[in-house]
């Protein structure tokens, strides 16, 4: 596995890979089994798999959230090597934003809803850094988890809108045994908060009405950003207070025509 700390190093390597199919998994590190599932799929479907690890500051509307985002680079690199990753990009801010973030990619509709309504500028940062990474890696396929389904949709549609020659692949949510969607931010939960966190998905599956779910989550100890059913999918974002920080959790699931969630029908494990 080769590590690339400079764009020149990667670009020289990329020029030698034109006869290979490339899969790409962009991450912010603190890898977990959800990331593993993306990497494993890329390894299975491509000749070469590229992983990026970069905590992107432009997508954090809350400086405290950026400061407390978990970082464990050596463990991530060891895990990536064990999974068969061929190349890891390890850029810094100066490399990713030589323009100082003068040039930005914005979306004017869906990015203003759900997480976008509560995190000003978040998706502009996401779309900008993902476009930069896709342009650098030039993959045939790029893999994104469905846990952040809004993000997946925006990236998929951005690639189509700008005629980018890449297949944006959605991969299913990977959950803990108790149903909590795996997330790097789960590392910031202490034991009491972790017990409460499991109620997020449980209540999503048990309660069909969005307003009732908001009340139930608040009663369980969550600070609820939103519960919204939109285009056949239910989206939830809520936070838990842990010591001096707030840990934000998101989840989503498809909704059947009768209003039940797919999970209630046991059609998705």
Tokens of 236: 């939830």
Question: Would you give the distance in Å from CA 224 to the centre of its chain?
Answer: 20
Q: How far apart are CA 205 and CA 264, in angstroms?
A: 6
Q: How far apart are CA 142 and CA 24, in angstroms?
A: 5
List, in order, residues 6 or more apart from 227 with CB less than 8 Å away: 210, 211, 213, 214, 217, 234, 235, 236
| Strand pairing report for 233-242 and 245-254 | antiparallel
User: For the chain, what is the largest distance between any 2 Cα atoms, rounded to a whole number of angstroms?
Assistant: 57
Catalytic positions, written as ranges: 35
List, in order, residues 6 or more apart from 246 with CB less than 8 Å away: 64, 65, 223, 239, 240
DSSP annotation of 18 reads T
């Amino acid at each position: 596995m080769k590590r690339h700390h400079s764009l020149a190093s990667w670009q020289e390597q990329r020029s030698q890979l034109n006869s290979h199919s490339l899969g790409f998994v962009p991450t912010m590190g603190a890898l977990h089994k959800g990331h593993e599932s993306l990497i494993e799929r890329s390894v299975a479907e491509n000749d070469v798999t590229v992983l990026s690890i970069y905590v992107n500051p432009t997508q954090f509307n809350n400086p405290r959230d950026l400061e407390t985002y978990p970082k464990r680079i050596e463990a991530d690199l060891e895990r990536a090597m064990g999974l068969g990753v061929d190349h890891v990009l390890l850029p810094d801010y100066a490399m990713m934003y030589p323009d100082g973030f003068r040039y930005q990619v914005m979306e004017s509709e869906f990015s203003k809803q759900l997480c976008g309504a509560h995190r000003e500028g978040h998706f502009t940062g996401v779309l900008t850094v993902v476009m930069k990474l896709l342009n650098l890696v030039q993959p045939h396929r790029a893999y994104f988890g469905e846990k952040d389904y809004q993000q997946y949709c925006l990236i998929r549609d951005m690639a189509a809108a700008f005629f980018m020659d890449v297949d944006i692949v959605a991969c299913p949510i990977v959950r803990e045994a108790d149903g909590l969607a795996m997330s790097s931010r789960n590392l910031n939960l202490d034991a009491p908060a972790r017990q409460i966190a499991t109620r997020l998905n449980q209540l999503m599956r048990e309660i069909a009405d969005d307003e009732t779910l908001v009340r139930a989550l608040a009663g369980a100890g969550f600070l609820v950003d939103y519960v919204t059913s939109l285009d056949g999918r239910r989206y939830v974002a809520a936070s838990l207070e842990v010591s001096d920080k707030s840990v934000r959790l998101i989840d989503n699931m498809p909704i059947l025509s009768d209003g039940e969630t797919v999970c209630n029908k046991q059609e998705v494990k």
